[in-house]
Amino acid sequence: MAKIFNVNGVCLPERHYMVDLTSRLKTIKNMVDAGNYFTINRGRQYGKTTTINALADYLKKDYTVINMDFQTLDTYSFENVENFVAAFAGEILDLVDEFPEGIEENLSAFEEKRANFNSLHALFKVIKDWCKKAAKPLVLIIDEVDSASNNQVFIDFLAQLRAYYLKRSRVSAIHSVILAGVYDIRSIRKKLRPDQEHQENSPWNIAADFDVDMSFSTSDITGMLSEYEKDYHTGMNLSEIAELIYTYTSGYPVLVSRLCKLLDEKIAGTTSFPDKSSAWSKDGFNEALKKIIKEDNPLYESMLGKLRLYPELKAFLQELLFNGIPIPYVATAPYIKDAAMFGFIRNVNETAVISNRIFETVLYNTFIAEEFAGNELYAVGSKERNQFIVGGHLDIRRILEKFIETFDELYGEEDEKFLEKIGRKYFLLFLKPIINGIGNYSIEPQTRNGDRMDLVIYYQGEQNILELKLWHGDAYNSRGEAQLSGYLDYFHMKKGYMLSFNFNKNKTRGIKEIVLGDKLLIEAVV
């Protein structure tokens, strides 16, 4: 059977094109060898299950590994201690092939709920005896652990793990425990008394830091594509395609695999890209990028669902995206913790940034879609869309002219603070229906700040560079023109566009052309 790029469930080396995990497994094994208890917290579809399953195989030579998934335990299993102990023991019996004398019988007694064994204390007594008799140290891995983290039984289970960890210099205990999930279980809310005091107390404060980078580097992606290339001989430029994939995903595992899967299965064989060789190109990649941004998939559904549950998180992300003001990455701030835990942001030089450019565009589109109903800017862009397409090309100058006219008509009397806050957001709202279905856009990360934001607009294989900025005087504007000219050099382009939001009462609205060297800049002022 030919290998495929997998985006659903666990990746298997014999069936799927995969990144080589060996270096990561060695690093994690060092933590296990040291006897650490730790948690692997990453966003949805970040390769947690694939990594821990590979780790279980990697460790089995030196350890007895119990690799458990809490998703296999139903609600009934967590209803009370007796049910949990029985279900937990049953899982161990299914997962372990050989036990020291007497252990299997005792675990069977838990599973069948016989005698007086139905307590966590009794269960851990048996586990302690097992650890004492075992030929190999025990390692416990629990995946999807956060599916049980909101109930008292689980908290009591963590407390037992912690208690034996703290006294393991005197008694036998599990050598290493690894808990994997999205939510950080260290922040479990525990009600210790009816009066609600001490609500934030974690029984998992023994966890070692897990600093292993699980994202895919450019070299990781190149290695995976090399395996594909051995099978199909497309002649792709491996380093170029790998760099493009990394640029837009920042190595988020499922996004990397999804783009590859789209190129292999959806782009190749189309009219524009009749074979794999033509698909695995820069133009083919741009088509795959357009598809992944527009599709509805389980990852987006899960992440966007969090915005409905966490209004403060949503407000934080909107501030980060549209206002461009740098927000310090303060790990103790609740909105930062939530955004990082769910995979929305990462820490770059102690500043919070959106995790990758795909997430960023999906979020922009989501927030814009929430406002388009009844918004007159969106309505004008949608109604007059055809006048902006000339001979199959996007007429950016005409788009800017119409935006100035419409924005001034609708918001010309608003105050400066309001305009500064909504300006860039409303231009995207105006642009979206014009390019929808054919084009796409992305925000360049190196230029995103409170004063400037460069937009790359893709349409029918063409790119247009548009700088959105706030007006801070002629000198600042001249610097912006020079910056845009330099940015056009990077893209090997001769023409670029600027949209300046000028809040001076005596400003001159409209469009002018500026020639800088061999570059033509078309600047619009609103």
Tens of pLDDT along 59-104?
Answer: 999 999 999 999 999 888 888 898 899 999 999 999 999 999 999 9
CB-neighbour burial class of residue 524 (10 A; exposed 0-12, middle 13-18, buried 19+): buried
Q: pLDDT class for 200, splitting at 50, 70, 90?
A: very low
pLDDT at res. 190: 40
Tell me the average pLDDT of the chain.
87
Q: Which of 465, 462, 440 is nearest to 454 (CA)?
A: 465
Q: How many residues does the chain have?
A: 526
Residue at token pair 């862009």: 381
Contact criterion met (CB below 8 Å) for 52 and 180: yes
Contact criterion met (CB below 8 Å) for 379 and 371: no
Q: pLDDT class for 47, splitting at 50, 70, 90?
A: very high
Which of 36-40, 110-114, 121-125, 482-486 is predicted with the least confidence, judged by mean pLDDT?
110-114
User: What is the per-residue burial (b if ≥16 Cβ within 10 Å, else e) of 178-213?
Assistant: bbbbbbbbeebeeeeeeeeeeeeebbbebbeebebe
For the beta carbon of residue 13, count every other beta carbon within 10 angstroms: 13
* 227 alpha-carbon distance from chain centroid: 25
pLDDT at res. 379: 84
Q: Which of 513, 509, 502, 495 is nearest to 476 (CA)?
A: 502
pLDDT at res. 199: 42
Q: pLDDT class for 197, splitting at 50, 70, 90?
A: very low
pLDDT at res. 111: 82
Q: pLDDT class for 377, splitting at 50, 70, 90?
A: confident
Rounded Cα–Cα distance for residues 454 and 467 (Å): 4
Rounded Cα–Cα distance for residues 371 and 348 (Å): 30
Which of 104-108, 402-406, 473-477 is predicted with the least confidence, judged by mean pLDDT?
473-477
Alpha carbon separation from 519 to 51, 400, 473, 486, 494 (Å, rounded)? 49, 19, 22, 10, 5
Report the sign of the C-alpha dihedral through residues 285, 292, 231, 221, in that order.
positive
Contact criterion met (CB below 8 Å) for 337 and 347: no
List pLDDT tens digits, range 319-369.
Answer: 888 876 778 999 889 889 899 999 999 999 999 999 999 999 999 889 888
Query: What global pTM score does this model have?
Result: 0.86
List pLDDT tens digits, range 108-128.
Answer: 988 876 555 568 999 999 999
